[in-house]
A and B are shown apart, each in its own frame.
Chain A
Amino acid sequence: MTQEHKKKSFVGFFLFIADTIYELAHIRSNRHVSLVVVMRQILFTGVEALPLIGFIALAIGGLVIMQGYAFLSTFGQGIWVHKILVLVVVSELSGIITALVVIARSGTAISTELGNMVVSREIKLLKSYGISPIGYLVLSRIFGVMIAMLVLTIYFNIIAVLGGWLFSQFFNHLEFRAFMNDFLAVLMLPQVLMSLIKSIIFGWIIAITASYQGMSVINASTEVPQRTIKAVVNSIFAVIITDIAISWLFWMLG
Chain B
Amino acid sequence: MHIVFDHVSSGSALQNFCLDFTAWGCTVLHDPTEQYSQAVLSVLMGLDDIDAGNLWLDDKTHEEFLTHHPLISTLGYVFDEGIMLSNLTLRENLLLPWRKRFEGEPEKAFNADLKNFMQQLNLKIDLLLRPASISPAERKFMGYIRAFMLKPRLLLIDDPFYLLNKTQRNQMFMFLNRQKHLQPMLIASADDEFMGDIASQVINLTGICSV
Interface residues of A (CB under 8 A from B): 31-32, 113, 116-117, 120-122, 124-131
Contact = CB atoms under 8 A, between A and B. Distances in A.
B53 interface: no
B86 A122 contact: yes
A191 B153 CA distance: 59
A120 B87 CA distance: 12
A122 to B, nearest CB: 5
Contact of B85 (A31, A122, A127): A122
Given A32-B99, A32-B100, A129 B79 contact: no
Given A32-B100, A130-B71, A131-B100, A125 B79 contact: yes
Contact of B72 (A120, A122, A129): A129
A191 B151 CA distance: 57
Contacts of A121: 79, 81, 83
B100 A122 contact: no
B32 interface: no
B87 A125 contact: no
A31 B81 CA distance: 28
A130 B99 contact: no
B77 interface: yes
7 contacts: A32-B99, A121-B79, A121-B81, A127-B45, A129-B72, A129-B96, A131-B97
| Top-7 shortest CB links A-B | A130-B71, A129-B97, A128-B77, A130-B72, A125-B83, A124-B47, A121-B83
B96 A32 contact: yes
B70 A130 contact: yes
A122 B99 contact: no
A239 B43 CA distance: 40
A72 B99 CA distance: 64
B85 A125 contact: yes
Interface residues of B, number: 20
A6 to B, nearest CB: 23
B47 A130 contact: no
Interface of B: 45-47, 70-72, 76-77, 79, 81, 83-87, 96-97, 99-100, 103
Contacts of A113: 87
B71 A129 contact: yes
A117 B86 CA distance: 8
Given A32-B96, A129-B97, A120 B70 contact: no
A130 B46 CA distance: 9
A128 B86 contact: no
B62 to A, nearest CB: 13
Given A117-B86, A127-B46, 6 more contacts: A113-B87, A116-B86, A120-B86, A125-B85, A129-B100, A131-B97
Contacts of B81: 121
B16 to A, nearest CB: 24
Contacts of A127: 45-47
Nearest to A122: B85
Contacts of B83: 120-122, 124-125
Given A130-B70, A130-B71, A130-B72, A125 B100 contact: no
A145 to B, nearest CB: 16
A164 B159 CA distance: 65
A33 to B, nearest CB: 12
B196 to A, nearest CB: 29
A93 B199 CA distance: 68
Contacts of A117: 85-86
Contacts of A122: 83-86
Contacts of A116: 86
B12 to A, nearest CB: 13
A128 B22 CA distance: 21
B75 to A, nearest CB: 8
Nearest to A130: B71
Contacts of B85: 117, 122, 125-126
A117 to B, nearest CB: 7
A5 B70 CA distance: 36
Nearest to A124: B47
B100 A130 contact: yes
A117 B97 CA distance: 17
A126 B99 CA distance: 13
